[in-house]
Chain A
Amino acid sequence: MRELEAAAITEAVARLCIEANYNLGEDVLAGLRQARETEESPVGQGVLDMLLRNAEIAAQGEYPLCQDTGLAVVFVELGQEVHVVGGDLNAAIEAGVRQGYAEGYLRKSAVARPFSARINTGDNTPAIIHVTIVPGDRVRLLVAPKGGGSENMSYLRVLPPAKGRQGVIDFVVESVDQSGGNPCPPVVVGVGVGGTVEQTMLLAKRALMRPLGQPHPDPEVAELERDILERVNRLGIGPLGLGGTSTALAVHAETFPCHIASLPVAVNLQCHSARHKETVL
């Protein structure tokens, strides 16, 4: 059994919160540059130029990419041969979020009592933590700050299986269409197909963590992604909804077997500030 200090987890989470909010990944930057080359709308081109310039300013380390530095979504793959010592795993992650959001001058966007008082918790906790136990003696931590504007544009529907592939495509395209400029396009479209509904949404969220534009390894799913992307970029929404041909940078789908009676589909949109950083301890 390998021992891992809880403090090391706290330290890593704090660092990842800061890195994710200041340094846009090379994959996303490449996607934005590609969109800039193909965008037909002059307004859209201007917007994309501003987003690329924004990323340069943020990378200097003084101003985060977006003022909405998100709720901290943390995916943990915990090796079953690891024994966390000196504290518990969840508390260590929460402490990391608290530290990262304070030291990084990141906005605290969490409110307690969601349907009533909505009081800011003051330190951006609680984090949204998803733990999977995996073989091995390592811990993989992935931190994805998720902004409210794009998270608000989330959709879940359980289709009758007869709707099939076309039903999935239509539902996703409809979802992006009705979101318009709200989720800060060009977006990454996270799609979950299958499972039970709570899992369907988690598949959509997990799909967003894949390096931008990397197709799904299953050719059938990769083809679905391509077909949805093609349809989405014909909607005309464009950068920030001000018109254009770059509505999505990519579509990422994940699937899971489901009940004989069901075809659940979830859509979780990610703004152009597609932030996630990971490390292995």
Chain B
Amino acid sequence: MGQEPITITTPLTEELVASLRAGDRVRITGTIYVARDAAHKRFIAALDRGEALPFDIRGQIIYYMGPSPARPGRPIGSAGPTTSYRMDAYAPRLLALGLKGMLGKGERSAEVREAIQRHGAVYFAAVGGAAALIAQSIREAEVIAYDDLGAEAVRRLRVEGLPAIVANDSHGGDAYQSERARYRKG
């Protein structure tokens, strides 16, 4: 902490991803995509059938999130991250296809951490449970696929200054592991 957060804009370039280090505080601005458990299952089923995904994931960030309903006149309801490990089974395949960023909460599996490094990607941690606060940084939201999934539908968001922390960087850095070790006693 101490330093000002790094402002990053989407889509993510290789240079930008390479410059990020575990523990960096960031503010994300631009377009990001929302998908969680059920949508990921459909993504993989679509790929298995040889079909395209509902959006071009290259260079993009997927936010693991299922919002509460929007009140009239608001783009979205509360919108904090869900736990990322449940997407671990799907993430390496999407990273191989060019996905550059994931935004969620909690530690990733060894397979995902390895894939992040191999494909030059980044995993951001948003603050779980700060859902009303995070909603303030979401300017627009639109369901773009799997409407029938309700809260689990795929959404496109326009965000401005969404706060997050680099949890896993493209160089093998892992803020969860290193920070936890720092404060572990006995």
List residues of A whose CB falls within 8 A of some B CB: 40-43, 45-47, 50-51, 53-54, 57-58, 62-69, 105-109, 118, 120, 122, 148-149, 152, 180-182, 184, 234-238, 240-245, 271-273
Judge whether B120 is part of the interface by a CB distance below 8 angstroms.
no
**B184 touches which one: A148, A181, A236, A240 (CB < 8 A)?**
A236
Q: How many A-B residue pairs have CB under 8 A?
A: 166
Distance between Cα atoms of A235 and B80 in the complex (Å): 25
Is the pair A54, B107 in contact by a Cβ cutoff of 8 Å?
Answer: no
Distance between Cα atoms of A107 and B67 in the complex (Å): 7
* Secondary structure type dominating chain A contacts: loop
Judge whether B12 is part of the interface by a CB distance below 8 angstroms.
no
Chain B residues 102-156 with CB under 8 Å of chain A are 105-107, 125, 127-133, 135-136, 149-152
Distance between Cα atoms of A241 and B84 in the complex (Å): 13
Is the pair A63, B132 in contact by a Cβ cutoff of 8 Å?
Answer: yes
Minimum CB–CB distance for B109 against chain A, Å: 12
Q: How many residues of B contact A (CB 8 A)?
A: 51
Is the pair B80, A66 in contact by a Cβ cutoff of 8 Å?
Answer: yes
Distance between Cα atoms of A242 and B165 in the complex (Å): 9
Chain A residues with CB below 8 A from B68, complex form = 63-64, 67, 69, 105-107
Distance between Cα atoms of A184 and B78 in the complex (Å): 16
Q: Nearest B residue to A272 by beta-carbon distance?
A: B129
Distance between Cα atoms of A107 and B132 in the complex (Å): 13
Is the pair A67, B105 in contact by a Cβ cutoff of 8 Å?
Answer: no
Q: Nearest B residue to A182 by beta-carbon distance?
A: B106
Given known A-B contacts A62-B71, A107-B69, A43 and B131 have beta carbons under 8 A apart: no
Given known A-B contacts A43-B165, A105-B68, A149-B83, A238 and B129 have beta carbons under 8 A apart: no
